[in-house]
Amino acid sequence: MYDSGYARKTILELFRIIDWMILLPAALDAAVLWELNIFEELSKVP
C-alpha cells in the first residue's frame, strides 16, 4: 500500500477495519504488527 501512495494513517485505518472484521489468533496478530513495523523501519516511512 505504501508503494501505491497510501498514507500511513489510511493504511492503519484499513488495518483497524480488517482487524474489527477478522479476529486473528494473538500470535498471528502480533506477527503481522511486527512485520509491519520492520517494513516501515526498512522503508524509512515517516
> Is the Cβ–Cβ distance between 24 and 32 less than 8 Å?
yes
| pLDDT tens digits along 24-33 | 899 998 998 8
Query: Looking at the whole model, is its pTM more than 0.75?
Result: no
| Arithmetic mean of pLDDT over the chain | 86
> Is the Cβ–Cβ distance between 11 and 2 less than 8 Å?
yes
- Expressed in percent and rounded to 5, the helix, strand and coil fractions of the chain are 70, 0, 30
Cα 5 to Cα 22: distance, rounded to the nearest angstrom: 25
Q: What is the mean pLDDT of residues 3-27?
A: 88
Residues constituting the chain: 46
pLDDT at 5 over 70: yes
**Domain extent listing, the chain:** 8-43
pLDDT at 20 over 90: no
